[in-house]
Amino acid sequence: MRKPEVFVAGPVSWNRLVLLDRLPEARPHTTFATGHRTAVGGTSAGKALNLASLGARVTLRTVVGDDEPGREVLAVLAAAGVEVIAETAEGATEQHLNLMDPHGGRVSIYLELPELPRPRHDERSLAALAAADVAVVDLAEHARPLLAPARAAGVPVWCDLHDYDGTAEFHRDFLRAADRVFLNDDGFAHHDALLGFLDSTGKPTVATLGARGALALEHGQVHTVPAAPVERIVDTNGAGDAFFSGFLVAHLGGAGVDAALAAGAEQAARCLASPGLAP
């Protein structure tokens, strides 16, 4: 059976994860961590690792610095079987400090961001893009230039807008280029506002709702799925990317919307029960 081929463009990072009983209040004080570790991060790394774990052949186009964190990220991706096309930027690899509580709350602090004099793409990236079944173009300036070539090549473009509120200018190019849109509901004050935005796109859309599951709007019909049960949540990092990946692989395998939503929920649950971005 032919493996699905997915091209992913976007950010990777090397993160320090700090586990806390509760997220810190906005006042000067001292607190104690319950644990800490370093790990690969970034939404495109999360998608690439989950897609690979589900049997897809994945090419990831990204940016790292010429430093030890960048080499750590590339080693993790290579070990998972992800083909990486990495542009080396001036400065450090993207790095975050993530403060996390046991209930899924997170504060992510950017520590480093690679500097690119001008976003670009090369012939190897364009060839991998043209050969893909789907192009996933994530929110990053260095990924933005790949939106137009993906459209020109006739490759379906899937974009994850994360916590987009329907108005932020940064996301507009990605929304316009996408054939299918994903996002979470964090940017909307209430459910009706979310549904109104999804309907206004005129595109197939999927919204994750945290512990309440997810919904899809396609051809005017709303489809819903509850969150899959998790016996013990180990790490919430990457759950949204896991959901996206489970849905995508199921879709490429011929699943309808309801089955794809269920596959996304199951992959997200597996991710939540594991210590990494992917089970």
| Out of 74-78, 117-121, 242-246, least confident range | 117-121
Separation CA 178–CA 198 (nearest Å): 13
Does residue 29 surpass a pLDDT of 70?
Answer: yes
Who has greater pLDDT, 236 or 253?
Answer: 253
Question: Is pLDDT above 70 for 117?
Answer: no
pTM of the complete model:
0.94
The predicted pLDDT at position 119 comes to: 62
CB atoms within 10 A of CB 248: 28
> 61, 54 in Cβ contact below 8 A?
no
Report, as an integer, the average pLDDT of 258-279: 94
The phi, psi pair for 75, rounded to 5°, reads -65, -40
Phi–psi pair at 206, nearest 5 degrees: -135, 135
Query: What's the mean pLDDT when you consider all of the chain?
Result: 94
